Amino acid sequence: MTNAFVFPGQGSQAIGMGKALADHYAAARAVFEEVDDALGEKLSDIVFNGPEDQLTLTANTQPALMAVSLAALRALEAEGITIKQHAAFVAGHSLGEYSALAAAGALTVTDAARLLRTRGNAMQKAVPVGEGAMAALLGLDFDTAVAVAREAAQDDVCEAANDNAPGQVVVSGAKLAVIRAVDIAKGKGAKRAMLLNVSAPFHCRLMQPAAEAMAEALAAATIAAPIVPIFANVTAAPTADPEAIRKQLVAQVTGTVRWRESVSAMAGAGVDKFVEVGAGKVLSGLIRRIAPAEGVIDFGKPSDIADVKALLGLV
């Protein structure tokens, strides 16, 4: 089998995402109801109707994006497309790793929603607002971006947070150090280097308090073996071992999201068709830059189903 199903992370959210799925498929609608029940509030109302400032709160964004991804998966299942039959691997970008695990049966939707609410709250609280920052460095290879971050850190924290695609690396850390990284990157030949509009410095050592909170939450969570292996963010390698997954989810909070390497490794394992399941098309764009693929498609609305079936050879 040459297909992988991938699941987006923070930044893919938009008001109204998943609503057409919920309107069209009862199974998709049931996912939003399950997430609402798990959290004890109508998160679905914020997802479908806003306001945007509520959706973009990290504690809401993370379970919301998971809900949309699982709703999209249930829609695919209603059309006869399943991970067990049609995917060799799953993977997710940052919080999308939880979506991937729920999609592959390693986590229940309820547990994924609650873990992501805990994760979002913990990541937001780990660093006081205004003390951290993230920046995108465009046009530098990963090793050069790491060297830029190291030079910028001085006595502070500045680390590579996301290795997204060739020439697209995000650094994270203390605000002044990240600002220095932007200036240094420009001097090293970056095409662009800019601060990102984020609420906290994700995927760096400053997130250690959040990692500790997630270690406690995950220790109490039930994790089953996924029905297909998952490529983990922190290793860029496949695993189906529940205890390895538990440790990787903790390490992921402070570790680099190795998306470029993950996609390359999936391609090396024979994957040549990628289906992005959920909101937006960010991962589809990155994948096209990373690996030669027969096809890459995003599925987030009912009108996309014919294209997915065509890609997977089901028509």
Residues contacting 228, CB < 8 A, separation 6+? 83, 84, 87, 88, 89, 90, 104, 240
3-state secondary structure of 189: coil
Gyration radius of the chain's alpha carbons = 18
3-state secondary structure of 47: helix
Given the residues 94, 99, 172, 284, select the one marked as catalytic. Answer: 94
How far apart CA 119 and CA 124 sit, in angstroms, is 8
| CA nearest to 245, candidates 232, 227, 258 | 232
Decide if 284 is catalytic.
no
180 burial class (0-12, 13-18, 19+ CB within 10 angstroms)? buried
- Helix (H) or strand (E) holding 299, with range, is strand 295-299
Given the residues 69, 86, 99, 203, select the one marked as catalytic. Answer: 203
Decide if 93 is catalytic.
no
The CA distances from residue 81 to 184, 299, 304, in Å, are 47, 12, 13
Backbone angles phi, psi at 184, to 5 degrees: -65, -40
Say if residues 35 and 109 touch (Cβ distance below 8 Å). Answer: yes
Catalytic residue list: 94, 203
